Amino acid sequence: MKNNTESSALTTCPYCGVGCGVQARVKDNRLIAVSGDTSHPANQGRLCVKGSALHETTGTQGRLLYPQIQGQRASWDSALDKVAETFARLIDQHGPDSVAFYLSGQILTEDYYVANKLMKGFIGSANVDTNSRLCMSSAVAGQKRAFGSDTVPACYDDLDQADLVILVGSNAAWAHPILYQRLVRAKQARPEMQVVVLDPRRTATCDLADRHLALKPGSDAYLFNGLLSYLAQNDALDDTYIAQHCEGFDVALAQAQQQCPDLITTAAHCGLEPADVQWLFEHFARTPRSLTFYSQGINQSSSGTDKANAIINCHLATGRVGKPGASPFSITGQPNAMGGREVGGLANQLAAHMEFDNPAHLQTVSDFWQAPRMAQTPGLKAVDLFQAIERGDVKAVWIIGTNPAVSLPDSAQVRRALEQCELVVVSDCIEQTDTTVLADVLLPATTWAEKNGTVTNSERRISRQRGFLQAPGEARHDWKIICDVASRLGFGDAFDYQHPADIFAEHARLSGYRNQGSRDFDISALAELSRSQYDALAPIQWPVTDTCPEGTARMFADGHFFTPSGRARLLPIDARMPANPCGDGDFVLNTGRSRDQWHTMTRTARSPRLLDHCDEPYIEISERDAQQLRIHSGDLVSLSALDARYIGRARVTPNQQTGSLFAPIHWNDRYASHGAVDALVAAVTDPVSGQPELKQSPVRMQGLRPRWQGMLLSLDAIETPASDYWSRVTLEQGERYALAGFSDRPDWSDWVQSWLPTSTDLIELLDSRANHYRAAAFRDGRLLWVFIASCDAELPPPAWLSTQLGRSLTTKERMQLLSGRPSEGAPDQGAIICSCFQVGEKRIRQAMKEGANSVESLGKALSCGTNCGSCIPELRALIEHV
Ligand SMILES: Nc1nc2c(c(=O)[nH]1)N[C@H]1C(S)=C(S)[C@@H](COP(=O)(O)OP(=O)(O)OC[C@H]3O[C@@H](n4cnc5c(=O)[nH]c(N)nc54)[C@H](O)[C@@H]3O)O[C@H]1N2
Ligand SMILES: Nc1nc2c(c(=O)[nH]1)N[C@H]1C(S)=C(S)[C@@H](COP(=O)(O)OP(=O)(O)OC[C@H]3O[C@@H](n4cnc5c(=O)[nH]c(N)nc54)[C@H](O)[C@@H]3O)O[C@H]1N2
Ligand code: SF4
Ligand SMILES: [Mo]
């Protein structure tokens, strides 16, 4: 049959933990369009800007297509042999703890399950950790301490049903856009619903909020301790619930009262106005349907577990757990952060939510797997693991689906560790990342659109990711690669799966094995799915058992918990500030997400449209700090700490509090000379969870005065420019660099000709004082590259120039090209605000001058904000700040 007919497939978005259903339209083994799956309960047909651009990111360019050993192409057999033989030798000589896996909340449950089974049951070490350590581990530890299990009690419907929603350390408008938009609609329908944002900076999420409390960075636990005291003082506790379903209340309250006896003390700890604190506390006290939605502003802290418990304490003390519209709601970041926890992907967990410190659990897992060498004690957590690698205690590491050279704190240490590790194996779908360049063995993995399996979203909902494109080159599925290595290690029988459905069935059976209601994670009713039932599996929330075959929306409504006593625990919380305090002259560096990029950009930066929103590393700076250091928006600014430097463009903003800075986590050595922000972040961790403090790091800041700045657009991929600063974006055709030099300017003419693709067809313009230089090169009459540099003048906007690459130009057009602007028409749009319709800030401001004064009227005039809606908070901010 000819394969040129169009087909469609239902799958799940590979980005955030909302877990939206996606309908994919496929033709000729190409994804030609995506839309939201109207039948998926997580998104009901909607997609955010990243989801809507999925079809722009699946091309084969840049993909890792075949295995490599020491940078040389190798056969699968030799690469797998090399991995298995080295692992076997090291285990033999130095014991099982000399090897490790480092996994990711972005691989599928089936991939995760086999990796965990191999390491913990067959190799005999628990050295299998994951990037979820950087993301969810404090939330997990907090839930386990309080509920006796890692259970999220709430579901997305609660966003519609709550009367008070407190978003804590969450920029949902950018990080969980479809949930944010659901809240927007809920508030439109019921304007009396109150929304509060607790975040040191003003974010796009505050657009929705009735109040934004810009608390002191890191002070959240004081606020929730203060709330517990207030509830007790104001007769707002649920005494019956506490008496029947809780333990530890008295000690928890005594500790809270000691630290935060009253509103004034609490407000002082948090740097807030007492009236704002009072407003929040009063609302919480009188609103039974209160939902606390928390994310990385809580988890990524040296006291993140305590912060999670400070929040949960207030919900337990008011009996608001697992009831409609009333719960603590920890939001997961990655598409399968929850699934990873289900299979025991963290070094201190066993599969199916079982625990190392429970001998019966160890026995259960060991018996079920018929494990020859069951790990008996927890393994190394991410930060400790990479330190053990540097010390040489761990001698081989296999990294799957994550980019630790960028995303772990103290990234210079991580790179040192990988450089000297005896064997670094990396499975990735992209050839060049900051981690793959440090690998000894590279294994090409299939990725979204090619893989088949399940993921679990923030509301415990298991959904299918379905593959619909053929794998490019020699790429293989992660589960298959792991099973092939297992088989070479002599465990072929236990890893003889033919299809992800077989793995899922085993995982489901284990969840019910010797369970009988003793463990929260139970999907035993899915253990007998046939392959076609697995393929057709509709999204479903665990637990899924014979008694709840349709799944479970909320947990703990009956007040029964998984602790030995069946009661939930309140914990005494000794609130504390960030572990690394700022010295004189330091700023607190906060790090996080930008709207249109995903993590280390390996996929989202392939879409030029997604790069338009924000095309360079940046630093948000308060107006006062900027004034003091004479920094203006658009200046290059350097941050330094741990002997490392980050350079980005200043964004001077009233949204940032004095003394605090914000920088995005996305840039790395592939996209900028000094864009990897984790080089500045010390590896300080939470003592309970091991999660690093990624939100509050002391740094120095300095405005930079480049001697020259430049812009280079090239049709072909080129070598990294030899300039002090550079950053790169992908264009529809070719790439564009921003450049700057801090020492003497080069002889530009020599400089460009020394490293850019040579061309006999070169035009140049050098002004008399030699402060400006412009050049363009042609190949067969078509524009090959254009370079514009200046010591003191502003550079022209890049949008029009990008459209000229690859074109044949007339003499007149060649002259215009060197002016950087068209002679008429094609106005400069400014930064793109609406990625869906490519509407820039300048056009929006123009439409506002012409009378558009609301999001709706801008939408009518320019279409902006009318598709995915991700830009609406920014549109509103422009309207409010005219
Ligand atoms: N666009 C986009 N979306 C994503 C991702 C992405 O890469 N790009 N990644 C996904 C992943 S894996 C994750 S984990 C989630 C993360 O989702 P979020 O946690 O919502 O995102 P972040 O930007 O990391 O941080 C959230 C907020 O915490 C605030 N914060 C910092 N310090 C404090 C503090 O002391 N107290 C409080 N209350 N707040 C503080 C920051 O200012 C920031 O606005 O996003 C997911 N969604
Ligand atoms: N300072 C600071 N640091 C942070 C954070 C922060 O807020 N501040 N956030 C932290 C958090 S919450 C997270 S989740 C991490 C994220 O950080 P990472 O996990 O390091 O980031 P990604 O870019 O998502 O890395 C995923 C890698 O897997 C590859 N990949 C994609 N699909 C597949 C597949 O199917 N199989 C395989 N084998 N590979 C695949 C991608 O190409 C990419 O290289 O960053 C953490 N680091
Ligand atoms: S909200 Fe998250 S899951 Fe949904 S489309 Fe956007 S990135 Fe994908
Ligand atoms: Mo995350």
- As a whole number, mean pLDDT of residues 809-833 equals 74
DSSP 8-state symbol, 758 = P
- 11 CA → ligand 1 middle, Å: 25
- For position 823, what pLDDT does the model report? 57
801 in contact with ligand 3, CB cutoff 6 A = no
Nearest-angstrom CA–CA distance, 784 and 801? 12
Query: What average pLDDT does the structure give for the chain?
Result: 94
- As a whole number, mean pLDDT of residues 762-770 equals 79
**Short-list 546, 175, 198, 563, CA closest to 337:** 175
DSSP readout, 665-688?
A: S---TTTBTT--GGGSS---B-TT
- As a whole number, mean pLDDT of residues 827-832 equals 74
Which of 388-397, 658-667, 730-739 is predicted with the least confidence, judged by mean pLDDT? 730-739
pLDDT surpasses 80 at 769: no
Spell out the residues 6+ positions from residue 619 whose beta carbon is closer than 8 angstroms to its own.
637, 639, 646, 648, 649, 650, 651, 661, 662, 663, 701
Residues within 6 Å of ligand 1 by CB: 16, 50, 135, 168-172, 174-175, 198-201, 203, 217-218, 220, 295-297, 333-334, 590, 592-593, 595, 597-599, 695
- 592 CA → ligand 1 middle, Å: 5
pLDDT: which is higher, 313 or 607? 313
pLDDT surpasses 60 at 858: yes
Q: What number of residues does the chain have?
A: 882
What is the number of the ligand 3 atom nearest to the C-alpha of 51?
Answer: 5
Q: Which tokens in the block code for residue 243?
A: 């008496």
- Per the rule left: phi > 0, alpha: psi between -120 and 50, beta: everything else, 11 is beta
What is the number of the ligand 2 atom nearest to the C-alpha of 400?
Answer: 38
Contact between 383 and 690 under an 8 Å Cβ cutoff? The reply is yes
**Short-list 339, 301, 563, 369, CA closest to 465:** 339
Q: Which tokens in the block code for residue 235?
A: 């007769």
Nearest-angstrom CA–CA distance, 409 and 60? 31
- 171 CA → ligand 1 middle, Å: 5
- Give how far Cα 18 sits from Cα of 43, 177, 340, 716, 839, Å: 8, 8, 15, 37, 26
Residue nearest to atom 4 of ligand 3 (CA): 20
- As a whole number, mean pLDDT of residues 585-592 equals 97
- As a whole number, mean pLDDT of residues 703-726 equals 92
- As a whole number, mean pLDDT of residues 427-454 equals 97
Helix (H, G, I), strand (E, B) or coil at 342: helix
Which of 383-387, 596-600, 752-756, 860-864 is predicted with the least confidence, judged by mean pLDDT? 752-756
Cis preceding linkage at 543, omega within 30:
yes
- 130 CA → ligand 2 middle, Å: 10
Question: 3-state SS string over 424-477?
Answer: EEEEECECCCCCHHHCCEEEEECCCCCCCEEEECCCCEEEEECCCCCCCCCCEC
List b or e across 143-171, with b for residues whose CB sees 16 or more CB atoms inside 10 angstroms. Answer: bbbbbbbbbbbbbbebbbbbbbbbbbbbb
Nearest-angstrom CA–CA distance, 265 and 281? 14
| Second-level CATH architecture of 587-702 | Beta Barrel (2.40)
Nearest-angstrom CA–CA distance, 295 and 712? 39
- 666 CA → ligand 2 middle, Å: 10
- For position 594, what pLDDT does the model report? 95
Question: pLDDT by residue (tens digit) across 179-195?
Answer: 999 999 999 999 999 99
- As a whole number, mean pLDDT of residues 794-804 equals 83
Spell out the residues 6+ positions from residue 437 whose beta carbon is closer than 8 angstroms to its own.
none
Which of 69-78, 353-362, 758-767 is predicted with the least confidence, judged by mean pLDDT? 758-767
Residue 41 binned pLDDT confidence (cut-offs 50, 70, 90):
very high
What is the number of the ligand 1 atom nearest to the C-alpha of 216?
Answer: 35
**Short-list 481, 475, 537, 473, CA closest to 504:** 537
- For position 826, what pLDDT does the model report? 55
Residue 702 binned pLDDT confidence (cut-offs 50, 70, 90):
very high
**Short-list 773, 768, 766, 775, CA closest to 790:** 773
pLDDT surpasses 80 at 67: yes
Domain 832-880 = CATH 1.10.10.1100: yes
Nearest-angstrom CA–CA distance, 27 and 3? 7
Residue 827 binned pLDDT confidence (cut-offs 50, 70, 90):
low
Nearest-angstrom CA–CA distance, 243 and 230? 19
**Short-list 607, 428, 532, 501, CA closest to 34:** 607
pLDDT surpasses 50 at 2: no
Question: pLDDT by residue (tens digit) across 451-470?
Answer: 999 999 999 999 999 999 99
Which of 169-173, 588-592, 622-626, 783-787 is predicted with the least confidence, judged by mean pLDDT? 783-787
- For position 867, what pLDDT does the model report? 87
Query: Across-strand partners of 441?
Result: 69, 425
What is the number of the ligand 2 atom nearest to the C-alpha of 135?
Answer: 12
**Short-list 284, 287, 286, 295, CA closest to 324:** 287
- For position 3, what pLDDT does the model report? 56
Q: Which amino acid is at 452?
A: N
pLDDT: which is higher, 244 or 882? 244
- For position 1, what pLDDT does the model report? 43
pLDDT surpasses 80 at 273: yes
Domain ranges of the chain: 6-56, 68-132+336-456+469-492, 137-330, 587-702, 708-819, 832-880
Nearest-angstrom CA–CA distance, 635 and 619? 10
Residue 248 binned pLDDT confidence (cut-offs 50, 70, 90):
very high
pLDDT surpasses 80 at 313: yes
| Homologous superfamily of the 137-330 domain (CATH) | Dimethylsulfoxide Reductase, domain 2 (3.40.228.10)
**Short-list 389, 402, 408, 401, CA closest to 676:** 408
Class of domain 6-56: alpha beta
Please tell me the number of the ligand nearest to residue 307's CA.
1
CATH number of 68-132+336-456+469-492: 3.40.50.740
Residue nearest to atom 43 of ligand 2 (CA): 402
Nearest-angstrom CA–CA distance, 531 and 550? 19
- As a whole number, mean pLDDT of residues 533-539 equals 97
- 664 CA → ligand 3 middle, Å: 19
What is the number of the ligand 1 atom nearest to the C-alpha of 168?
Answer: 38
The pick from 133, 403, 410, 598 for probing ligand 2's pocket by mutation, whose C-beta has the most ligand atoms within 8 angstroms, reads 403
Residues 595, 600, 605: CA angle, nearest 5 degrees: 65
